[in-house]
A and B are shown apart, each in its own frame.
Chain A
Amino acid sequence: MEQEIVFLTLLGMLAVTYVPRVLPVLVLSSRRLPAVVVAWLRHVPVAVLAALLFPALFVQEGRIDLGLDNLFLWAAVPAFLVAWRRRSFFTTVIVGIVVVAVARLVLGGG
């Protein structure tokens, strides 16, 4: 991988990450964001997370895979349950990782 291109990409990521972080505290101290912008931004986290998650769970090698051998999909069940009941970010990630690791150990391969 071309590390200079990676570095330039990092600079771009810095810019697009820092501007939304800094702009409101600098300019919004007395004004507020328009209501429709706030409403739109409120939907972004849920939408973006689901848009990232669903392909990771349901799509394997370019097609929808609901088979029992789709480990990523079935490991999501205990992860969802733990996230729902415990409301803990850390516990959810650990449970997901451990379930996948153990399933591979037991089933072999993966």
Chain B
Amino acid sequence: MHRSPIIVLWFWEIPTAIAFNRVMSVEIESTRRGVLTGVSRALPIVLGYVPIGLAYGVLAQKAGLSALNTLLMSLIVYAGSAQLIAVGLFAGGASPLSIILTTFVVNLRHLLFSAAVAPFLQHWRKIDLAGFAYELTDETFAVHSAQFASEGVPGRAEVFATNVTAQVSWVFGTALGILVGQVIADVKPLGLDYALPAMFIALLVLQIKERVQIVIALLAGMVSVGLLLAGLDQWNVIVATVIVATLGVALEQWNKK
């Protein structure tokens, strides 16, 4: 018997369609599970981001930033410590150029994070890498790099779920801070003006793993204070960082010889 090609095609298509549907539903199911896992990985980050985002929102209001600009900074810059530093500089009347350059130096560390995860993500499309890098912070890097190295790279859905959850919590904290900032008259009785120094202390102590880093910290701190007192009040952080990081490399090279 001779069947027409269309019927053959039709017969062929039924199992294919069934198989295709099964693959699709398995894929959707695994994507859904990936998203849930990704969100749950971000929960420890959320616990930190909401209160710090709130402090940022309040301080930005007190520094004279509009609610829109305060929120925009969390959406487009999205870098916790740099945002708080920038708010401090805005409040002190620093020039846009010095604010941008300070942000650059403070956020240069992301180069290292990005370079560290790059080998794991070689198989990703450029557009996904661009989206991933947009939400690469100290905290999301810590979560991803630990996972990539131990369990391998999970699906994109899971990775992006972690990143998006983290940024949503940061923006949410910022919005809360804007509301709180409009209610309270003065941040001093709440100690909120200490959020920034306390954050520096926490980040600094968590960074220090070797003795040489204590020397670097003391040197950078003293150079920064010295430059500030000498009248370099907008540039002391950048100049001190560049001088002491360079000195650190020179010392290490000299020690090796």
A interface residues, Cβ below 8 angstroms from B: 1, 3, 5-14, 16-18, 20-26, 28-30, 32-33, 36, 38-59, 62-64, 72, 75-76, 79-80, 83-84, 87-90, 92-102, 104-105, 110
Contact = CB atoms under 8 A, between A and B. Distances in A.
Contact of B217 (A12, A49, A59, A95): A49
B133 A40 contact: no
Interface of B: 47-48, 51-52, 55, 63-66, 68-69, 72-73, 76-79, 82, 85-86, 90, 96, 99-101, 103-115, 117-119, 121-122, 126, 129-130, 132-134, 136, 188-208, 213, 216-225, 228-229, 236-237, 240-241, 244-246, 248-249, 252
Given A12-B100, A26-B130, A33-B115, A110 B188 contact: yes
24 contacts: A9-B96, A10-B76, A18-B134, A22-B130, A25-B133, A30-B122, A33-B111, A45-B109, A47-B244, A48-B237, A51-B224, A51-B237, A56-B197, A56-B200, A57-B197, A59-B229, A64-B225, A79-B201, A90-B47, A90-B51, A93-B52, A93-B195, A93-B198, A105-B189
A10 B197 contact: no
B202 A93 contact: yes
Among B48, B115, B130, B222, max chain A CB count under 10 A is at: B115
Contacts of B197: 53, 56-57, 72, 75-76, 79, 96
Given A1-B65, A10-B72, A47-B216, A89 B122 contact: no
A18 B133 contact: yes
A53 B188 contact: no
B186 to A, nearest CB: 11
- Name which of A58, A76, A96 has the most chain B CB atoms within 10 A of its CB: A96
Nearest to B107: A17
Contacts of B119: 28-30
A30 B97 CA distance: 35
The dominant DSSP class at the B interface is helix
B115 A98 contact: no
A55 B193 CA distance: 14
A102 B136 CA distance: 36
Contact of A59 (B72, B79, B126, B228): B228
Contacts of A56: 196-197, 200
Contacts of B219: 47, 50
A49 B48 CA distance: 19
B198 A39 contact: no
B121 A29 contact: yes
Most buried by A among B119, B191, B192: B191
Nearest to B101: A16
Across chains A and B, which 5 residue pairs bring their CB atoms closest together, nearest first?
Answer: A96-B198, A54-B221, A101-B191, A92-B202, A24-B114
Given A14-B77, A22-B114, A44 B109 contact: yes
> Which of A17, A25, A26, A89 counts the most chain B CB atoms within 10 A?
A25
Contacts of B118: 24-25, 28-29
Contacts of B103: 12-13, 16-17
Given A10-B69, A110-B188, A23 B129 contact: no
B201 A3 contact: no
Contacts of A18: 133-134
